Amino acid sequence: MRFKKLGADMKIQAGRLSEKGFKQIFDRINQLNIKAGVDKMGLDKFIEQCAYMAAGSGVISGTGGMLTMVVGVPLDFVNLITQQFRVTMAIMYNVRGNY
């Protein structure tokens, strides 16, 4: 019984954390920079730039061993989500003309 309650509590906390975390990440994205980037570079180059930024943070978080991995992996995860939001917004802007 105790494990079921613990599992349910963890699920609720994870849902709250992900909702607040995703909202905070989205709110910090400068939407005008995405528009300017897509207008200047084009959609394909903008997506490529986001992919390089996501890959670069992954390489940095994994190259320093265990010490940098403890700090780097959570930061890499946040950066990966940020880049996914940016790419999604860029595609929406390119297709619709707005977000």
Place of tokens 């959570």: 74
| C-alpha of 7 from chain center | 26
Q: Is the dihedral of CA 18, 16, 73, 32 positive or negative?
A: positive
pTM listed for this prediction: 0.74
Of 21-30, 38-47, 89-98, which one has max mean pLDDT? 38-47
Q: Are 79 and 53 in contact (CB under 8 A)?
A: yes
The residue with greater pLDDT, 71 or 25, is: 25
> Mean pLDDT, to the nearest integer, of 9-35?
83
- Comparing 98 with 20, the larger pLDDT belongs to 20
Residue 72: pLDDT band (50, 70, 90) is confident
* CB count in 10 Å sphere of residue 41: 14
Indicate the average pLDDT of the chain.
84
Q: Cβ contacts of residue 60 below 8 Å, gap of 6+?
A: 68, 72, 76
